[in-house]
Structures are given as structure tokens and as C-alpha cells.
Structure 1
Amino acid sequence: MVGVRPATHVPESDFETVGSTPRKKTISSPYLHRLQRRHFLLFDVLPIAGTAAALAFLTVHPIGVTELALLFSMWVVTGLGVTVGYHRLFTHRTFKAAPSVVAVLAVLGSMAGQGGVVSWVALHRRHHECSDREGDPHSPNLAGGGLKGRLRGLAHSHFLWMRRHEYPNVVHYAPDLIRNRALVRVARLYYYWVALGLALPALVGGLVYQSWAGAVSGLFWGGLVRMFVLEHIIWAINSFLHMFGTHPYESRENSRNGGIFALLTFGESWHNNHHAFPDSSSFGLSWYRLDPGYWLIKILALGGLAWDVKRPSEERMKASRISRNGKPAPSTTA
């Protein structure tokens, strides 16, 4: 599989020297690969089957306002849990938040079924370290040239990489998280949070319709279909937005912006902006670029629940912007 090296081959760059002892940045073992395959089947393949079953179930229980409301609301809260919690807070530390906000964002992000918070953060930090180079767990640009190589790369980065991959050493990539006991306690309950994200819409559907068919319909649309929709939106950031779109800012990888998808992705589709300024809580960078994730952070800040909200200065953005001739725009600062 593209981007996955056998366990017997670990480049020298994948070691970190701690004192006199080298420490591996990634871990590869049959046990971890079994866990990865199990997670892939449960939370990546099962939502596909669940979506097909939901469509078939329409012949028994037609979709109504309840199902649409469950699909939308669960998609929004879990999507914000990923982009604001997993990504902007826990991975990049673009703002600080009250303990209650930290816990809620960790739970909502976990309910998305994208992996436990510590593992997700370690993987994403590894992605930024090796982006579009050897070691990147989900680059679409390492499968060779031509149409065949591009299609193989897209399939790998969008979906197939999750079947089996080297596991980033959380001691190296997420030491700040594993020192946070409250967050670790939330992370250990990951499978329970995913189950809660499926049980809640089933309960609502059953109560509204007063029937088992309503509960099953709620499970499908607020649970499995919601998970399917959100997953493919997130995975499209990894795949398509490292191959297609605009590239306004200088960055060392092939990240792209896809502004037309900004609302659908909660602002994540300003992907080149993010790679150019990973410490920024705003991915849109300007008020007119839609970024719902940043809107939530600003609301939390207004309520005193978030602070130290980071954004790059105008001078820094101007210095990194690529001019029409394809080169960084000249800086006006000394």
C-alpha cells in the first residue's frame, strides 16, 4: 500500500534521540494492524453498509423531518467536535479553552468515529511533519505519475490508508495530551462515545415515532448515515485538497484551498491557508471566507470559555502570499 513501509525498514529520520537512546517515531506491529483493521471495518466500512441499509429501509419507514433533523444536528455537532476540538485545539493548540469545553469537544469529536483523540492528534501531527513526502500516512501524491498513479493516490489517501499503516508514537507526537489526565480519561472511553453517538439518535427516533421502526430509522440517519457523510467530507480534505484547488500561500506541500466547500467542511477546506499557518485558529483568515469552526471559537471567546485565540499578522500573511508569477510576494517589512 502506498506510503506504508514494512516494519523492518525505518529510515534514520524516523528516530528521535532521547539522551543516548534512539526512539522510534512510528510503531508497526501485527497487534496494531489488527486494531486498525477492526476500526476500519467498524467505523469506515460499516457506515457505507449502514447508508445502503438506510436507503433500503425507506420502503418500510419513509424519511421525515425527524430523520433530517437528526442527520443535520448530529453532523454539525460531531463535525465541529473534529474541526474545533480534535484539529484546532488538541492538534495545533490554536486557542485555549475551559476544562468543560475541552471535555465536550473531546466527546463530540470521538462520537464522529474518526479515532481516539490522542491517536488522531498523533496521526495529524505526523501528517504535517511529513506532508506529501515519505512518512505522510495519507498523501495522494506518492503513488507515481499519470492518471493511474493519481487515481491510486486518491484512493489511498481518501480511504484505503486506514486499513493498515504505521502508528505514530504518541510519546513523541502527543506528549502534551498524554500528560492531561482528564483528556486521557475521555480518550479511554472512545468506543463508548461512538456508541453514544449512535444510541442518541436511535432513542430520539424511537421516542418521536413511538416505535422500533422509528428507533431504527433514527439510528440509520442520525448515526450511520451521518457518520458516512462526515467521514467522506473529512477524507476529501486529505485526498482531493492535496491535489486540486488554489494555492495562494507558500507551503512545502501540495495543500490546496477549496473555498466552495467551506460551509460543508466547517472551514476545513481552506486547506492551503491552514498548512501555511497551522497555528492559526482561523482557516479562512479573512472575514468574508466562510469558516464555521472559527465562528464557534469566537463565540466561545466572547463567553469567556476560550482565550489566546491565535491568528497570523497581516505582515506574515503578506510575506507568505504567492504572487501571480508563482513566487512569494516581496515583503514590505525590513
Structure 2
Amino acid sequence: MAIVIFVLVLWYGGLFFQSFFLHRYAAHQVFTMSKTTERITFVLTWIFQGSSYLSAYGYGVMHRMHHAYTDTEKDPHSPAYDDNLFSMMWRTKTVYQDINKERIAVDKRFTKNVPQWKSFDAFASSRFSRLLWITLYILFFVYFTTAAWQWALLPITFLMAPIHGVIINWFGHIYGYVNFKMKNTSKNLFRFDFLMMGEGYHNNHHKYASRANFGVKWYEVDVTYVIIKILNAFGIIRLKPVAVAQK
């Protein structure tokens, strides 16, 4: 039971900070936060994403490119231009690293106000950091595993963020339903997004990219947005009016 709980904590903890910090804050800036809160959130993202830590800058810039070039040759990740999900994610990794290491020229509209903490990112993305987390995960499994099948969950802990990316960027453009007919293949994966905390309402998000709440229908509960509303109520973050009001 301890192993299952551990994997679930990493799944939903890492997913929350990817959705809350990297996606809605870094890429779309639907709310603001103080510099101190931002730095704390950088560290929490590292703790929960662990060995699969993603830079807010690299993710934010790449995601803006995805919206600008959805399902075209310039899209960093689209099933329309890759034969399988592995080739798509390899291309995603290449674009992400090229952005972080400044190996490609990026239009200023994609980099404007995207949060960046170069020194911390260098550490959190380092081989040392990733191997440290992998070692800690293995030690946890050695100590707490009670059945052989539980070892099958170990690779998931290593690759949590890429797995989250595959679910949305591959399956979220192939399977599901649409609320809005658009010139792209984005779809909503679930009527109630229990798995991806609101990220699965991908068609809704492509329609209203600057909207804080990814749910549109009454049954499309966006769990991440619920947490955002609570943080806003306590003054930890401040939602922008357009992000709340847009319908």
C-alpha cells in the first residue's frame, strides 16, 4: 500500500505543479504571484517532479509555440507529424532542450515574461539531481515493496512528467470529445478529468487559452482550478480578471 500511495503522491503532486506553475502560470500567466512565492514554487516543482523536473522557462516557451503552431510542422508535439508517441516525445525533448540551452532563436512573443531561474534550473535539471531522485525512489521501493508487481511502478516514478506530456499531447489530440470545432485536433479526454486534474480538457483549453478554468460544461470539474481559487482567496496568488471572466 505504501508504494501505491507514494506513486499517487508523485503523480498528482507532479501533475499539479506542471499544470499550476509550468502551464497556467509560466506559459499563460492567468495569475500573478510574488517573486518569493515564485521561487518557493520552483523548489516545490523540483521536489514533486523529481527526476523528471521540467524548467518553467523551457516548458512555458515550448507550450506557447504549441498554441501558435498547433498541428503544423512547427508544432513541438503533434500526432499529425509523428508516426508514434515515442518519436513525438523525442522531438519534444529536443525542442525543449534547444530552448533551455539557447541553441535556437525564439520569437520574443514566446519568451515575454516567462519566469526563469537559471541557476536553480541548472541544478534541478542536472544529471546529479536526476540520479539523486532516482536513487531515492529505488531505496524507497527496496524498503517498502511488499509484492513483486509493485516494481512495475518504479519506471513511472522516473518518467512522470514525460508520461503526463504523452497523455495530453498525444492522446489528447486523438481520443475524446470536442465542445468546440477548431482547426486543430485537440480533444477533451474525460467528462470528469479525475486523471489529469483538468489538463484533460484540452479542446476547451485550445479554445480559451487564457482562461484559468479549463472546464466549460457543468460536469467538467477542473480540480487544479479549484485549488487555484483557494490560493487566490488566501492571497497567495492573484487571478487576473480576464482569466476568471472569459466565457
TM-score range, shorter chain: 0.7 to 0.9
Q: Any conservation in 1 of the 2:28–2:209 contact (CA below 8 Å)?
A: yes
TM-score relative to the length of structure 1: 0.59
Q: Any conservation in 1 of the 2:37–2:236 contact (CA below 8 Å)?
A: yes
The answer to whether the aligner puts 1:176 opposite 2:105 as a matched pair is: no
Tell me the residue number matched to 2:91: 161
Tell me the residue number matched to 1:279: 210
Q: Any conservation in 1 of the 2:201–2:215 contact (CA below 8 Å)?
A: yes
Tell me the residue number matched to 1:240: 171
Q: Rg larger in 1 or in 2?
A: 1
Tell me the residue number matched to 1:136: 75
Tell me the residue number matched to 2:156: 225
The answer to whether the aligner puts 1:121 opposite 2:60 as a matched pair is: yes
- Separation (CA, whole Å) in 2 of partners of 1:196 and 1:312: 43
Cα offset, 1:250, TM superposition: 4.2
Cα offset, 1:245, TM superposition: 1.8
Q: Which amino acid aligns with 2:143?
A: G
Q: Structure 1 residues 258 and 93 mapped into 2: Cα distance closer, same or farther (>3 Å)?
A: same
- Separation (CA, whole Å) in 2 of partners of 1:263 and 1:81: 16
The answer to whether the aligner puts 1:109 opposite 2:45 as a matched pair is: yes
Once the two structures are superposed, the pairs formed by residues 79-118 of structure 1 within 5 Å of their partners are: 79-111=15-47, 112=49, 113-118=52-57
Q: Any conservation in 2 of the 1:154–1:239 contact (CA below 8 Å)?
A: yes
- Separation (CA, whole Å) in 2 of partners of 1:106 and 1:238: 23
Cα offset, 1:132, TM superposition: 0.3
Q: Render the CA deviation track for 1:152-180: whole Å, top value 9, x for unaligned.
A: 154433x34246448344573224236x5
Tell me the residue number matched to 1:255: 186
Q: Any conservation in 2 of the 1:243–1:255 contact (CA below 8 Å)?
A: yes
Tell me the residue number matched to 1:73: 9
Q: Name the SS for the 2:72 alignment partner.
A: coil
Once the two structures are superposed, the pairs formed by residues 307-322 of structure 1 within 5 Å of their partners are: 307-309=238-240, 310-314=243-247
Q: Structure 1 residues 262 and 191 mapped into 2: Cα distance closer, same or farther (>3 Å)?
A: same
The answer to whether the aligner puts 1:214 opposite 2:153 as a matched pair is: no
- Separation (CA, whole Å) in 1 of partners of 2:33 and 2:235: 9
- Separation (CA, whole Å) in 2 of partners of 1:102 and 1:200: 26
Q: Render the CA deviation track for 1:112-133: whole Å, top value 9, x for unaligned.
A: 2153221111211111111101
Where does structure 1 lack aligned partners over 5 or more consecutive residues?
1-64, 144-151, 207-212, 315-334
Q: Any conservation in 2 of the 1:234–1:265 contact (CA below 8 Å)?
A: no
- Separation (CA, whole Å) in 2 of partners of 1:153 and 1:268: 21
Tell me the residue number matched to 1:301: 232
Q: Render the CA deviation track for 1:296-318: whole Å, top value 9, x for unaligned.
A: 2112112110112413434xxxx
Tell me the residue number matched to 1:191: 125
- Separation (CA, whole Å) in 2 of partners of 1:278 and 1:264: 20
Q: Any conservation in 1 of the 2:14–2:160 contact (CA below 8 Å)?
A: no
Q: Which amino acid aligns with 2:81?
A: L
Once the two structures are superposed, the pairs formed by residues 16-35 of structure 1 within 5 Å of their partners are: none
Q: Which amino acid aligns with 1:294?
A: Y
Cα offset, 1:255, TM superposition: 0.8
TM-score relative to the length of structure 2: 0.77
Relative contact order higher in (CA < 8 Å, ≥ 6 apart)? 2
- Separation (CA, whole Å) in 2 of partners of 1:290 and 1:231: 24
Where does structure 2 lack aligned partners over 5 or more consecutive residues?
100-104
> Number of paired residues?
229
Identity %, equivalent residues: 22
Q: Any conservation in 2 of the 1:84–1:105 contact (CA below 8 Å)?
A: no
Q: Any conservation in 1 of the 2:192–2:220 contact (CA below 8 Å)?
A: no
Cα offset, 1:66, TM superposition: 2.3
Q: Structure 1 residues 114 and 201 mapped into 2: Cα distance closer, same or farther (>3 Å)?
A: closer
